[in-house]
């Protein structure tokens, strides 16, 4: 006779009732018979499948680096034989995504092994394809910043010289395009229609353009800077508002590191309308000043000082030989003014100061050798009646 916990199957046999929701687990107070019944309720096939799936996933996770190294070793054996480094750079950019690919592959194979059903399998396959798209995007995203290393090879390959000021802009533009393309492909993979979104952008284009007026102004200002190329990254420039070294140029703004080590970000619309002095593009650096000597200096000594100073500048290895002027210029308030005008070969600021100091020391030596004293600001007071200057006691 069937017990209360059994029921008659349609075939006439006895089926054991399996109601997980009504079976409360109490490990501490569980009897031996209760434990046996609990183990009987467990689907051993499911546990077996879970263990197999976990082993598959662990296998790919543990050996992902080994597989990556094997793939790279095989591919690099071909790319290293080519004359260009473009393929080597392409391969290196995908090292990280390739390791993640083996983890994703292991997870996909592990989940595919489990008997979830058709709908779940389709969902897992879509997730796997989405992950592949993301990894490919990440690989090309990593390459965007490194293509500047191939400037010379790209010039030979394409016959186009790309200015270094364009590389950061092109890299950022390429990143935006790759992300947008990736999002579009993923949306199509999940059967999302983007037609309505694009139409919405068209209807709201006027509002967006009005709201983004400053952004567009800076964008066109960036185009002006890029096309006119008044400076490049690393140049020392001076504007009415800032002076320093250019660190970054994009379509919105330009970043300049001042000599006080502060980072100044200037909108391109502002910078494009300012006068820009690019000190880094000097072919030579100017030094000009007036040298004052005492009024009681004899004419012969003045002439010798002018001659010796000019000869010293002409023989100096750091002075540009084309333009050197040393002339008796004027009668100053405190002394005779000798005008000096010449250029240093170096444009480096530190080297320029070093050359300028050396020349000043040599000028002092010439004046000391001739016994000529430098003039200094002074005022002479003369009394018309000398007796009025006497103090009466």
User: Which alpha helices (H) appear in the chain, and where do they start and end?
Assistant: 32-41, 44-62, 64-79, 86-93, 95-113, 118-144, 151-158, 166-189, 195-203, 205-211, 213-228, 268-272, 299-315, 349-370
Q: Contact, 130 vs 190, CB < 8 A?
A: yes
**CATH code assigned at 236:** 2.30.30.60
For residue 183, give both structure tokens.
Answer: 């999002």
Band the pLDDT of 165: cuts 50, 70, 90: low
Please say if the pLDDT value at position 88 is more than 50.
Answer: yes
**pLDDT 10s digits, 176-234:** 888 888 988 888 888 887 666 555 555 555 555 555 566 667 777 777 777 778 888 88
Domain extent at residue 263 = 213-280
Please say if the pLDDT value at position 144 is more than 50.
Answer: yes
Structural domain contains residue 172? no
Please say if the pLDDT value at position 293 is more than 50.
Answer: yes
Structural domain contains residue 352? yes
- Please check whether residues 344 and 248 belong to one and the same domain: no
- Per-residue pLDDT averaged across 69-82, rounded? 78
- Please check whether residues 330 and 274 belong to one and the same domain: no
pLDDT score recorded for residue 22: 36
**What is the C-alpha to C-alpha distance for residues 15 and 18, in angstroms, rounded to an integer?**
9
pLDDT score recorded for residue 115: 81
DSSP 146-176: TGGGGHHHHHHHHS-PPPTTHHHHHHHHHHH
Hey, what's the torsion of the CAs at 243, 246, 250, 254, to 10 degrees?
Answer: -10
For residue 329, give both structure tokens.
Answer: 């210029």
What is the pLDDT of the chain when averaged over all its residues?
Answer: 79
Please say if the pLDDT value at position 385 is more than 50.
Answer: yes
Please say if the pLDDT value at position 344 is more than 90.
Answer: yes
Radius of gyration of the CA atoms of the chain, in A: 41
Structural domain contains residue 85? yes
Cα 3-7-4 angle, rounded to 5 deg:
30
- How many domains would you assign to the chain? 4
């Amino acid at each position: 006779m069937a017990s209360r916990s059994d029921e008659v199957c349609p075939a006439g046999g006895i089926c054991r009732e399996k109601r997980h929701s009504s079976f409360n687990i109490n490990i501490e107070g569980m009897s031996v018979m209760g434990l046996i019944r609990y183990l009987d309720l467990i689907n051993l096939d499911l546990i077996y499948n879970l263990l197999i799936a976990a082993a598959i996933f662990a296998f790919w996770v543990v050996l992902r680096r080994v597989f990556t190294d094997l793939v790279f070793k095989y591919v690099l054996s071909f790319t290293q034989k080519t004359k260009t480094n473009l393929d080597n750079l392409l391969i290196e950019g995908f090292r990280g995504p390739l390791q993640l690919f083996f983890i994703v592959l292991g997870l996909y194979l592990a989940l595919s092994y489990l008997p979830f059903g058709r709908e779940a399998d389709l969902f897992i396959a879509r997730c796997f394809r989405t992950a592949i798209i993301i990894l490919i995007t990440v690989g090309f995203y990593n390459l965007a910043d490194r293509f500047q290393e191939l400037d010379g090879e790209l010039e030979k390959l394409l016959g186009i010289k790309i200015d270094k000021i364009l590389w950061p802009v092109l890299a950022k533009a390429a990143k935006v395009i790759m992300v947008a393309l990736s999002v579009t492909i993923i949306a199509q993979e999940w059967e999302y229609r983007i037609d309505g979104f694009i139409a919405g952008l068209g209807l709201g284009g006027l509002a967006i353009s009005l709201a983004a007026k400053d952004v567009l102004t800076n964008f066109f200002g960036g185009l002006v800077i890029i096309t006119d190329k008044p400076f490049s990254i690393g140049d020392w420039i001076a504007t009415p508002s800032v002076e320093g070294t250019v660190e970054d140029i994009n379509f919105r703004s330009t970043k300049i590191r001042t000599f006080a080590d502060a980072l100044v970000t200037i909108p391109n619309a502002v910078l494009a309308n300012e006068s820009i002095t690019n000190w880094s593009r000097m072919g030579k650096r100017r030094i000009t000043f007036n040298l004052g000597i005492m009024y009681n200096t004899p004419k012969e000594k003045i002439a010798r000082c002018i001659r010796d100073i000019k000869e010293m500048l002409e023989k100096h290895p750091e002075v540009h030989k084309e333009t050197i002027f040393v002339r008796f210029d004027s009668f100053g308030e405190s002394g005779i003014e000798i005008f000096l005008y010449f250029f240093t070969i170096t444009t480096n600021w530190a080297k320029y100061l070093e050359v300028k100091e050396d020349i000043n020391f040599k000028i002092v030596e010439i004046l000391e050798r001739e016994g000529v004293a430098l003039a200094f600001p002074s005022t002479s007071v003369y009394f018309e009646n000398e007796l009025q200057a006497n103090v009466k006691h």
